[in-house]
Amino acid sequence: MDQLLDKVRGPELVVQFQRLCGLSRLCEDKPAPPHSPEAGRQAQPVPTPRLHTPACRGNHTNPEHNGTVSGVPVPRQKYKIENYFLYYLFLFAATLGQEVFYITFLPFCYWNIDPYVARRVINIWAIVMYIGQASKDVLKWPRPPSPPVVKLEVRVDAEYGMPSTHAMAATAIPFSFLLASMNRYKYPCELGLLLALAICTLVSLSRIYTGMHTVLDVLCGVAITALLVTVSYPFWDAVETFQMKNRFAPLLALSLPLMLSIYYPELDHWSTARGDTTNIVSAGGGAALATWINHQWELIPEPVSAPPYPIPSLSIGLICRMCARFAIGIIIVFIARQVIKSVALILVCRVAGVSPRDQEARKLLRVEVPYKYITYSCLGVVGLAGCPAVHRYLSL
């Protein structure tokens, strides 16, 4: 059993999977010939060397962190791609666990599919992601070392690896979507199950392909999320009823994300984990506040008949309205994000007594958490309450 755990936790399976998919390292002492098919586009360096810096308080005590030595630039890697289809497929799948996906797909579901379903997906997503991100900084298991693994991402490499939050999100979002919609709409549940499995599998494999997680990281991420979704499912209706009708719901929606972010597990070095987690739980809190606002002011009409509902056929008019709602909503969210983020950063830095231009100061807890909390709490309200109001005003 110990040997099996060591194997799924080690980098060997990651390297084997990368080679199976046509991705391998090029040794520095044996570069590919300049005119060979392995050179040129197939020998691509990681864009910039990476430097692990200590947190604002404390230094590294472990000489090895995520395969690199603290404070030492990671050497540039050269790698060979033999299967470009899998390369771009897995890179695309990896984006399904990043902000660009969350900030587009979740609002799209709310604006164009069903707020009922979207609210449940957002609640589960926020809970699962906080548990996953916090677990990383409690367990402190390193990511696969490079070499021998080829790492295709740089931004999140300073984070720890166990569990894979990409795998958790890829399990939480499609399966909570399936559970929330299968009794509400008339469609083949088997087809929805296959689609959810395909998304979960593709994103999970992408984390191994990109060299960011071991097999054990991914398996634990999927298993933890499956357990959380199963245990929480009977309480989804009660949670939504509380969010809509309880007079203390707005207070909880605003205070809980802030407290969770402030008391996030202490970091032994700075990484994007705390900031990204603050973004997620704050957006979830803003969405919960928007749920209360929409219900209290009756801004979101509820269906008159009882479920299950037939899925409407896609007509040209419906597609045009969906595209218009999405385009207008995303423009509003993007503009609001830029404006709120800039204003919040200036105000928080002024209160903290630091310069907004100081990149290191932005990593301080008293700066990073408040300005991200303000930004994404407001975005949750703008996206789920403000944008639907604009859509109704424009008769969309």
Q: Measured at the alpha carbon of residue 306, what is the angle toward residues 323 and 319, in degrees to the nearest 5?
A: 10
Q: d(Cα 227, Cα 192) in Å, to the nearest integer?
A: 20
Beta bridge partners, 186, equal 310
Out of 52, 213, 269, 391, the active site residue is 213
Among candidate residues 52, 166, 269, 391, the one labeled active-site is 166
Q: How far apart are CA 33 and CA 342, in angstroms?
A: 48
H or E element at residue 310: strand 309-310
Q: Is 213 a catalytic residue?
A: yes
Does residue 49 have a cis bond before it (omega within 30 degrees)?
no
Q: Which residues make Cβ contacts (< 8 Å) with residue 310, sequence separation at least 6? A: 185, 186
3-state secondary structure of 60: coil
Say whether 166 is catalytic. yes
**What token pair was written down for 38?**
């392995």
Residue 11 CB contacts under 8 Å (≥ 6 apart), including other chains: 144, 145, 148, 149, 214
Assign 44 to helix, strand or coil: strand
Nearest to 57 by CA among 360, 268, 352: 268
**Using an 8 Å Cβ cutoff, are 172 and 233 in contact?**
no
Catalytic residue numbers, as ranges: 166, 213
